[in-house]
Structure 1
Amino acid sequence: MRPMPREAGLENGLKVLREGYMYIPNRRKSFHASLFETTLMGQRAVCMGGEEAAKLFLSEEYFIRKGAMPGFVQKTLLGEGGIQSLDDNEHRNRKAAFLRLMARDRVDEWGKLIEKELMTATETWIQKESIVLYEEAQKILTKATCEWAGVPLDEADIDERAEQLILMVESPASPGITHVKGRAARVKAEAWIKELVEQVRKGDLTPPEKTALYTFSWHRNLDGSLLDVKTAAIEVLNILRPSIAISIYLCFTALALHQYPEEKTKLFEGNPYYLHMFIQEIRRYFPFFPFQAARARKEFTWKGHTFKKDTLTLLDIYGTNQDPAIWESPETFNPDRFQDWHSSPTNHVQYQLLAQGGGDYARTHRCPGEWNTVRAMEVFADHLANRITYDLPEQDLSYSMVNMPTRPKSGVVLENVRWK
């Protein structure tokens, strides 16, 4: 037994907001430890990172998700009662529905829809002097995702729905009016999908069987009862909202092509696996989710340190993706590091690349839409590198390491878009 390194202070939540993605990595480095103890939201908390810490954190034996997410995250990003707050058999039952939606044929269909909407959008881009990729990507993703999920969407409603979905992503850690807008967006979006679920159950709307709207309208709990309408709506939004969040990664894709022009040359050579390697390095290198939260299921000891039952625990996602114990020269953008990851992001890499969680898809809270994310990024990267030309005017392409989530500040402005 040995004492866990402890950060001084009665409350350190404001430090998280001031340091953002670097809060946990900074202290892991200063303590020369994979974990440390602190006080967040008035309670003892343990922050940890690295491959071994990820294996522990993602173990059902030691951690649960119930009660881990604070209210301000549930009321904006996640919704109350969704899959992120479930454990054990309840979680596996709900997760199985998500995984059925991510079957290979469905991921292939998703990629085709993304490509279709991207091609259509490009025809409008070439008529304009400039476009903001962040905003355009949200519209493309909203249209493609709603069609893929079986959610009816009128052309006139695209901008409104895209704004609601992205506000839920941008607002959890934002102060003031942005957070208020995020809560309002959550309420409106849930009302929208609840109405559709009710229409499905009444027989007034019949979405295709392999879609999210159909699946969660008819999904049953372990006791055989249907999900209540609100929970069903939240789970449909747990398909729509993360899909629109990919717009952040698409901005980083364009930024990587700009900052590392040699990569565009390699992508032009047409090696599909190099395209995959390029996308995985973007997901490792650039910040997306800062950390995940759970609570200790029971009291236990790990590496001489004691975790008490119900201890709030944060797993350092960004810091693990930048951990020099895992990655050689992690500060360097290098897609070649993934050349041997032919099964990525599964099997032996489950606890190294944590861009959207880690561990086994069926048992842990790893994002089931990870393959959809990769496919959308591959389609966009290939489009930007091989199908169109464009100019990047002078703009602020920097991104904050404090704002969570972050993105290039300009949203990536493209000018003079043309077909190759």
Structure 2
Amino acid sequence: MDVFETRLLLRRTTCMTGAEAASVFYDPARFQRAGAAPAPLQKTLFGKGGVQGLDGEHHRQRKAMFLQINHPDRVEALAEVVSREWGEAVADWTTADQIDLYAQVQVLLTRAVCEWAGVPLSEAEAETRARQLAALFDEAGAIGLGHLRSRAARKATERWAADLIEQIRSGQLEVSDSSAASVIANHQEPDGQPMTPRVAAVELLNVLRPTVATSVYITFVAHALDTHPVWRERLARGDGNEDLAFVEEVRRHYPFFPAVAAIVREDFQWRDHRFPRGRRVLLDLYGTNRDGRYWDDPERFNPDRFLGEEPDRFAFVPQGGGDPAVHHRCPGEPISTRLMGVALEHLARHMTYTPVVPAALSAIDYGRLPALPDRGFRIRNISSRPA
């Protein structure tokens, strides 16, 4: 069934799945993003005023800003910083009895993205900022104390980022013109005015937070390498040409967040189903990425499927669908795939280690947002492998 109705947070909601559904969902004439995200996520994961909730020309200009920040040359520069940080981290990990890969990667990614983005970060505050940035996505969908921690982290990081924006605008803080912090601080809205410091802070966090959130996908890379030893050996012996295929299959096979939301602009019909104006609609990302009508043997982990032509942009939707310049597909997707590739390079070819709990004994906890191995992914006996 491609479409059905249910209730979510006491609100009638329509759910959609599949490539054809995704092509409808990402039609800006039919759907808007303003008001789509549930209030708890606006106060934690996204922040108010960010690109995720914009439409029309406002969205196009804000998205262009992010595409400038994520220019291929800049993405490669970030990858170089992450690779350096990873190598330095491994030197520390070798002296530890064991490490939690997910938590440690968050810290190294925080150091790297702040340096790259033009955000000053002392060594003393690196772990604190890593915890705060992680709380924005790791506990965004939690209830109780987890949600409160995420909201507290949102307030703290927005104050921090807004202060940086004001320092850049006043000339108190000098940063590279190509840095994310500079691009955001100097961005002009459709009315020719800069964003308010608070909204600019939200957008700066929309660079830092998703980069640190790549720690989820990197944990999945490690889990997949341990689950599929044939592929681990194949990649270890390879020259890197198959790395991206493995990364893309990880993004297809493993879930991050299960769905995205939009609001119907005007009444329309699709598949004999009525979509009334104002209705919240969810697109099933996980199910679309495993839809047997498009994917051959979808439950099988098979990176070979990505060694041919690129998949349809509405069938492969781990971080949204369509064209990132036009639709609400994540503009940071190139950062995710490139940093997953950096992690794969180190895990498969530059390190040796032993999982504390083999991946085969640690199932993915789909009840968690984001999903992660239910027994974590801790590693021991860590050493560097000569290049």
Task: State the TM-score bracket (shorter-chain normalisation).
Answer: over 0.9
Please state if 1:246 is matched with 2:214: yes
1:239-284: per-residue Cα shift (whole Å, max 9, x none)?
0001111111111111111110001111123243311100000000
Q: Which residue of 2 aligns with 1:169?
A: 137
What letter is aligned with 1:400?
D
Please state if 1:363 is matched with 2:326: yes
1:68-101: per-residue Cα shift (whole Å, max 9, x none)?
1111001000001110110010000100000001
Pairing partner for 1:45 from 5, 13, 20: 13
**What secondary structure, in the 3-state scheme, does the structure 1 residue paired with 2:213 have?**
helix
Pairing partner for 2:377 from 412, 415, 418: 412
For structure 2, the 5+ residue unaligned runs are none
Please state if 1:400 is matched with 2:379: no
Pairing partner for 2:247 from 279, 290, 295: 279
CA separation in 2, counterparts of 1:145 and 1:231?
20
Kindly indicate whether the alpha-carbon contact (under 8 Å) linking 2:356 and 2:377 is maintained by their aligned counterparts in 1: no
**What secondary structure, in the 3-state scheme, does the structure 1 residue paired with 2:364 have?**
coil
Pairing partner for 1:89 from 27, 52, 57: 57
**What secondary structure, in the 3-state scheme, does the structure 1 residue paired with 2:15 have?**
strand
Offset at 1:379?
0.9
- The Cα RMSD (Å) is 1.2
Pairing partner for 1:379 from 342, 367, 377: 342
**What secondary structure, in the 3-state scheme, does the structure 2 residue paired with 1:294 have?**
strand
CA separation in 2, counterparts of 1:177 and 1:327?
40
**What secondary structure, in the 3-state scheme, does the structure 1 residue paired with 2:315 have?**
coil
1:359-409: per-residue Cα shift (whole Å, max 9, x none)?
011111111111111111111111111111111223663221111111123
Kindly indicate whether the alpha-carbon contact (under 8 Å) linking 1:110 and 1:148 is maintained by their aligned counterparts in 2: yes
1:296-327: per-residue Cα shift (whole Å, max 9, x none)?
11111112222111111000001111111111
What letter is aligned with 1:189?
T
TM alignment of 1:204-215, pairs within 5 A: 204-215=172-183
Kindly indicate whether the alpha-carbon contact (under 8 Å) linking 1:135 and 1:411 is maintained by their aligned counterparts in 2: no
Q: Structure 1: which 4+ aligned runs deviate by more than 6 Å? A: none
Pairing partner for 2:24 from 40, 56, 61: 56
**What secondary structure, in the 3-state scheme, does the structure 2 residue paired with 1:223 have?**
coil
CA separation in 2, counterparts of 1:181 and 1:296?
32
CA separation in 1, counterparts of 2:135 and 2:363?
21
Pairing partner for 2:100 from 128, 132, 141: 132
Kindly indicate whether the alpha-carbon contact (under 8 Å) linking 1:294 and 1:313 is maintained by their aligned counterparts in 2: yes
What letter is aligned with 2:233?
T
**What secondary structure, in the 3-state scheme, does the structure 2 residue paired with 1:39 have?**
strand
**What secondary structure, in the 3-state scheme, does the structure 1 residue paired with 2:372 have?**
coil
What letter is aligned with 2:198?
K
What letter is aligned with 1:413?
R
Please state if 1:78 is matched with 2:46: yes
TM-score, length basis structure 2: 0.97
Please state if 1:148 is matched with 2:116: yes
CA separation in 2, counterparts of 1:378 and 1:138?
16
Cα distance change on mapping 1:405 and 1:67 into 2, 3 Å: same
Please state if 1:308 is matched with 2:273: no
Kindly indicate whether the alpha-carbon contact (under 8 Å) linking 2:30 and 2:264 is maintained by their aligned counterparts in 1: yes
How many matched pairs? 383
Q: Which residue of 1 aligns with 2:171?
A: 203
1:135-172: per-residue Cα shift (whole Å, max 9, x none)?
11001110111111111100000010000000010122
Please state if 1:389 is matched with 2:352: yes
For structure 1, the 5+ residue unaligned runs are 1-32
Kindly indicate whether the alpha-carbon contact (under 8 Å) linking 2:357 and 2:375 is maintained by their aligned counterparts in 1: no
1:326-383: per-residue Cα shift (whole Å, max 9, x none)?
1111111100111113xx4xxx521111110010111111111111111111111111
CA separation in 2, counterparts of 1:220 and 1:262?
50
Give the share of equivalent positions with the same residue, in percent. 40
